[in-house]
Amino acid sequence: MSEKVQLDVYKCNKCEQHWMSEDGAKKCEESHVIKEHVCCDCGVVLHSCYSRCEDCRLKSIYNKASKYLDVGEYDGPVYDEFKDEYYKDLDDMYEACECNGEEVSDWVVTCNKHTFSIDIMDSIERSSMDMEDFSMDWLVDADELHEFIDEWNAKQTCYSCSPDYKRIIVLKVRTEGKDKNET
């Protein structure tokens, strides 16, 4: 005849799995704890996969700049890192902030312009890749095409921008949590 036996086991409080030893249950519990992801600069707990919190990320960008410009020293496209927005110039940014009822950021990043153009030689090379024994000498009026595209490229006014994190335009100088101009 079978006999009833009482068994003492330890339970993991996370997954409720049973263990014969207390050490086994503790190790199981520890394996369920997700290590907090913290900012590498200030130690605040992050709820994202980034290594820095937003404040420290912005401070890092600002501190890495090699040139700080005043408003009148730059005329061109800017990127507002705080709002993740590009503007064609500072006037456009000020107008957008006013229309949207938003405060102007403390600083913006200058941008590098990339004017739209066609690289005709690259296009010809790509088009001829599938042709065996291709020679540029076989093209009719290749020089005229090159001249035309160069002239056409020179007329283009559309462009894209990329932030130039080396140059920052300081819009507000803050001291003790207030704008310098505030009384």
What residue spans define the domains of the chain? Answer: 54-129+143-179
Q: Residue 48: pLDDT above 90? A: no
- What local confidence, expressed as pLDDT, does residue 174 receive? 54
Strand partners, 108: 169
Mean pLDDT for 160-174 is: 88
pTM: 0.61
Are 32 and 15 spatial neighbours (Cβ–Cβ below 8 Å)?
A: yes
Average pLDDT score, the chain: 85
Query: Tokens 């339970």 correspond to what residue?
Result: 11
Where is average pLDDT lowest: 36-40, 49-53, 89-93, 175-179?
A: 175-179
Residue 5 has pLDDT above 90, yes or no: no
Q: How far apart are CA 179 and CA 114, in angstroms?
A: 35
With a cut of 80, say whether residue 53 has pLDDT above it: yes
